[in-house]
Structure 1
């Protein structure tokens, strides 16, 4: 049996043993505890689950909330990235505007110096002064100087016009960037509000549960992932996959592996915590390859490959809205930062709905 089959069998066995450690039928809610009438519920006490709502239903509701929070996190990260780029662009434009104004001032000073020189010459233009010269050689020399002067004046006016046009363009671009900056700032605040609301709602549902119910809820979560992974493996998805990681891919996997156990925090890019795309983008940055910050942009911009050609270091994008990403490490497994309340961990690559695979170093 090769190493991949051994590892796959080991993962399956561990998951199966874990499930057997928690007795009771799958998806069954625990026996409801006696409840206190609403009129005498202690202030601040967590509300019980909705009547008739099973733990599996609670799990699915919590999962949906965290999925929506993940999508909002992606929107927040993208808006933040664009805001930073626009801020940098505005700074650059402001510098160019300052240079433009200084150049215009310099050109105006040069034009003023030429006008003052003419005034010191009696107020007559060079052509009129030349007409009063009797010496032919001086006349010819004067003609040459006048031609040079006319060219210099023309060049001065051309450069002044161009500098003024550039300044106007910089000003217009800066105004447009300010508008984009404000629009993305509003998007960022909206996304931040939404993701906080989703996370708070999910945590509120979890807070309603007793300690035993929370343990069972975690087990239901593992069970759902195990069933999805098993179905994925049984579909033959790994059949024929034998791609070896590139040198950069190995570096990215090594970095991601070193982050195991660190907590998920939305918007985080390390070193102490990560969100899903923060982990993958930093892993590939450590490997010397810059990639987009968010899972949706990673899906949109990075080269896509067929899953049968997948190799360690590739990124698997999950869910129809590309709201989650994990790094494939081989043997049907990924490293990822799952969601708030969880740590960077190893999971089955098929434990979630796969949208596709991208390769940063293709």
Structure 2
């Protein structure tokens, strides 16, 4: 029993000495947290897809702000020219008014009516009366033009100021959208960069499988059963242009000729066909006439996702040509490979 007590006491002393010998703060090591479970490739695919869709929506916001800023800049230039022309006209009217005043001064400083009363010749009186009336009307018209031009300049100046404020607001929107696009794309690219080469190949295969699954389900629904529309003459030209861009890279904000984003491709295709349309997929969705899927024809635009953040051009046989996303090229895909919001027709 005494032996046991002595052994227990010895162990206690050894433990105490060990603790005393340890550096301050290192007696107890913090437990290392377990590594987070590695995401499956399908989870990575969905995350990347979400980031690129968010980037697509931000790209639309950037393109719209840029388009509006360009229009406002053009309007400011137009107003500046109008204001400059108005100022020139005011100077001319002031010179003419000055000439009238100088002519009166040369007449002795008397107004024409007073000079007329002093004449003794009846004929001269009558002729003078007519000239006085004409002069009064001319002076009144001159003053009216001067006042009207000055009022117009105030309106144009106020309009130019309003356009300048809108231009500045859209510049801010554009910069904010640009930052959002770059942030989302950078995050998606980082996720892809962390994958091995073999995983990136499998990721592409997963993307294609998901598109094939969605397209098959769409076709099985009977959506294409009654679709037999023929392209218009302009639609044929638009499809020809769009399909000629296959293989060119997606670059956000790009309108060709070397690269495109989704709405850059569709807007340039229809411009090449001789028909200008809005620049962004959201504006194309909002402003172009909608048609039923059963009535669609080649050249029509299919708007995708609830926020109208993507667009492709229907080319027939249940297929579209589109610029998918950063890291991908302009290509052909199934028209039902993404959730369809609506179909719109540029030349309706």
The normalised TM-score by structure 1 is 0.86
The equivalent position to 2:204 in structure 1, one of 213, 218, 225, is 218
Corresponding position of 2:65: 79
- How far the C-alpha of 1:51 sits from its partner, in A, is 2.2
The equivalent position to 2:257 in structure 1, one of 250, 255, 271, is 271
Corresponding position of 1:61: 47
CA distance in 2, matches of 1:212, 1:241: 40
The equivalent position to 1:122 in structure 2, one of 101, 104, 108, is 108
1:155-304 → structure 2 map (5 Å cutoff): 155-304=141-290
CA distance in 1, matches of 2:118, 2:85: 43
Query: What SS does structure 2 have at the residue aligned with 1:261?
Result: coil
CA distance in 1, matches of 2:240, 2:37: 47
Specify whether residues 156 and 278 from structure 1 end up closer, same or farther in structure 2 by C-alpha distance, changes over 3 A only.
Answer: same
Detail structure 1 runs of 4+ shifted over 6 Å in the superposition: none
Task: Provide structure 1 residue ranges, at least 5 long, that are not aligned to the other structure.
Answer: 1-48
CA distance in 2, matches of 1:299, 1:95: 35
Deviation per CA, 1:27-52, whole angstroms, max 9, x where unpaired? xxxxxxxxxxxxxxxxxxxxxx9623
Query: What SS does structure 2 have at the residue aligned with 1:326?
Result: strand
Aligned pairs, how many? 314
The equivalent position to 1:317 in structure 2, one of 289, 294, 303, is 303
The answer on 1:147 being equivalent to 2:133 is: yes
Deviation per CA, 1:12-71, whole angstroms, max 9, x where unpaired? xxxxxxxxxxxxxxxxxxxxxxxxxxxxxxxxxxxxx96231110000000000000000
Query: What SS does structure 2 have at the residue aligned with 1:98?
Result: helix
Corresponding position of 1:30: none
The equivalent position to 1:136 in structure 2, one of 122, 136, 139, is 122
Query: What SS does structure 1 have at the residue aligned with 2:97?
Result: helix
Query: What SS does structure 2 have at the residue aligned with 1:279?
Result: helix
Deviation per CA, 1:58-113, whole angstroms, max 9, x where unpaired? 00000000000000000000000000000000000001110111111111111111
Deviation per CA, 1:97-145, whole angstroms, max 9, x where unpaired? 1011111111111111100110011000000000111000000000000
Specify whether residues 237 and 208 from structure 1 end up closer, same or farther in structure 2 by C-alpha distance, changes over 3 A only.
Answer: same
Specify whether residues 50 and 249 from structure 1 end up closer, same or farther in structure 2 by C-alpha distance, changes over 3 A only.
Answer: farther
Q: Compute the RMSD of aligned alpha carbons.
A: 0.8
CA distance in 2, matches of 1:147, 1:51: 98
CA distance in 2, matches of 1:182, 1:52: 45
CA distance in 2, matches of 1:121, 1:129: 8
Corresponding position of 1:35: none
Query: What SS does structure 2 have at the residue aligned with 1:216?
Result: helix
Task: Provide structure 2 residue ranges, at least 5 long, that are not aligned to the other structure.
Answer: 1-34
The equivalent position to 1:100 in structure 2, one of 86, 90, 94, is 86
Query: What SS does structure 1 have at the residue aligned with 2:129?
Result: helix
CA distance in 2, matches of 1:50, 1:218: 25
Corresponding position of 2:340: 354
